[in-house]
């Protein structure tokens, strides 16, 4: 028997042509799509507006798979973390970060990461493989299952309102699957997360930035973490391939595509490394030189055993933030969420790994 087709992760076009191959009309593909992504159906049996014969055909040749939940933890601040396992036994983590009136699901795109950033626990784990589009989308679907938010809510009262692509892996090293997954998440007849509520963070894979934006329209965040190449290359080896000037030129071009867009720069505050006022001033000069509408997220560093860096002091972070604000750049300080369960993005899977 030939292998069954996994439906989660097929694009709408692929689903249409698959159903056409079964002799079904396009509107059947639309109905099936709505069952999968609007209703969150997990079985063909519940798809009541499809004929019995189509349901049994689908049953025979297709699957609707969710990853397996291995462990689930909720931290004291309500951050919710799942360790998920795919059919080949590989594991990743997905985190839900609730805010007062909304919440973001932080999803992973690779098992491990090849970028090897010195401050990142995922980066110390090497890369095993890319996730498929279905594996990326199904992380969000698991969160929807757990929070019982099917059928896809259209109003703004939903818990799972935002998506951040900031889990394990470098998303722009897995562009094709990430684009496909984001287009499923934003589809208005399905999961329906607005593209303006999705933020993708990258360490700066320059040639893939504009294609990502053109194909998805999601918001861009750059993990900058240093104000010059000398420092950035020390903590982010990828900077030798795609240095700051190339990243910022691309951010400038991105803003030309749509002048209203801000670029968010994530900036990890590392003690005595990148946290001085001179560093902040250097950042300001960079943004001016490349005419960028920048926002900064100053991130408190989450240390892990064996890491060479330490978090900056609270006072240093505040002074750094004020320096940026003096120059009219927003620079909120991000508290690490879910610290008691090591849930900060970039810290994912670490605890389990140590246990092994």
Binding residues for ligand SF4 (CB under 6 A): 113, 115-117, 120, 122-123, 169-170, 203, 223, 346
> For residues 202 and 216, which CB has a smaller minimum distance to ligand SF4 in the complex?
202
Rounded CA-CA distance 122/350 in Å is 7
Known catalytic membership, residue 93:
yes
Tell me the closest approach of the beta carbon of residue 208 to ligand SF4, in angstroms. Answer: 13
Rounded CA-CA distance 82/249 in Å is 37
Tell me the closest approach of the beta carbon of residue 169 to ligand SF4, in angstroms. Answer: 6
> For residues 28 and 231, which CB has a smaller minimum distance to ligand SAH in the complex?
231
Handedness of CA 239, 245, 248, 249 (dihedral sign): negative
- The residues binding ligand SAH (CB under 6 A) are 119-120, 166, 170, 201-203, 223, 266, 268, 299, 301-302, 344-347
Residue 266, contacted partner among ligand SAH, ligand SF4, none, CB below 5-8 A by kind: ligand SAH
Strands (E) in 186-237, as ranges, are 198-202, 219-223
Rounded CA-CA distance 243/228 in Å is 9
Q: Tell me how far CA of residue 118 lies from CA of 226, 278, 356, in angstroms.
A: 13, 22, 22
> For residues 234 and 285, which CB has a smaller minimum distance to ligand SF4 in the complex?
234
Nearest to 218 by CA among 242, 239, 194: 194
β-strands 219-223, 198-202 pairing: parallel
The residue whose Cβ lies closest to ligand SAH is: 346
- The set of residues, in sequence order, having a beta carbon less than 8 Å from that of 297 and lying 6+ positions away, is 221, 264, 265, 266, 267, 331, 332, 334
The catalytic position among 62, 106, 251, 345 is 345
Tell me the closest approach of the beta carbon of residue 115 to ligand SF4, in angstroms. Answer: 4
> For residues 113 and 213, which CB has a smaller minimum distance to ligand SF4 in the complex?
113
The catalytic position among 93, 170, 266, 323 is 93
Residue 40, contacted partner among ligand SF4, ligand SAH, none, CB below 5-8 A by kind: none
Known catalytic membership, residue 62:
no
Question: Is-contact 18 10, C-beta < 8 A?
Answer: yes
Tell me the closest approach of the beta carbon of residue 194 to ligand SAH, in angstroms. Answer: 21
> For residues 54 and 324, which CB has a smaller minimum distance to ligand SAH in the complex?
324
Residues labelled catalytic:
93, 345
């Amino acid at each position: 028997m030939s292998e069954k087709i996994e439906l989660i992760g097929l694009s709408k076009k692929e689903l249409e042509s698959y159903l056409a191959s079964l002799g079904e009309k396009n509107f059947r593909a639309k109905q099936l799509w709505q069952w999968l992504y609007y209703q969150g159906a997990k079985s063909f049996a519940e798809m009541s507006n499809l004929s019995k014969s189509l349901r049994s055909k689908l049953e025979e040749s297709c699957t609707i798979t969710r990853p397996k939940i291995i462990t689930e933890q909720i931290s004291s601040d309500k951050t919710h973390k799942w360790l998920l396992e795919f059919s080949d036994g590989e594991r990743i983590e997905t985190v839900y970060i609730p805010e007062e009136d909304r919440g973001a699901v932080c999803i992973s795109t690779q098992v491990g990461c090849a970028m090897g950033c010195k401050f990142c626990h995922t980066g110390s784990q090497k890369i095993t493989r890319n996730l498929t589009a279905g594996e990326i989308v199904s992380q969000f679907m698991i969160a929807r299952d757990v929070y019982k938010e099917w059928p896809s809510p259209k109003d703004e009262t939903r818990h799972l309102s935002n998506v951040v692509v900031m889990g394990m892996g470098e998303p722009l090293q897995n562009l094709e699957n990430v684009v496909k997954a984001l287009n499923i998440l934003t589809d208005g007849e399905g999961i329906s997360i607005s593209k303006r509520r999705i933020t993708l963070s990258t360490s700066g894979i320059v040639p893939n930035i504009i294609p990502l934006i053109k194909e998805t329209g999601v918001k861009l965040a750059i993990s900058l973490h240093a104000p010059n190449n000398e420092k950035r290359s020390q903590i982010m080896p990828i900077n030798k391939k795609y240095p700051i000037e190339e990243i910022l030129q691309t951010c400038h071009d991105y803003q030309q595509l749509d002048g209203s867009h801000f670029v968010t720069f994530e900036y990890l505050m590392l003690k005595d490394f990148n946290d001085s006022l001179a560093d902040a001033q250097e950042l300001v000069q960079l943004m001016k030189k490349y005419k960028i509408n920048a926002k900064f997220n100053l991130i408190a560093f989450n240390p892990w055993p064996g890491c060479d860096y330490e978090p900056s002091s609270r006072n240093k972070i505040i002074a750094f933030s004020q320096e940026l604000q003096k120059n009219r750049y927003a620079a909120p300080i991000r508290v690490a969420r879910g610290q008691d369960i090591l849930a900060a993005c970039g810290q994912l899977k670490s605890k389990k790994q140590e246990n092994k």
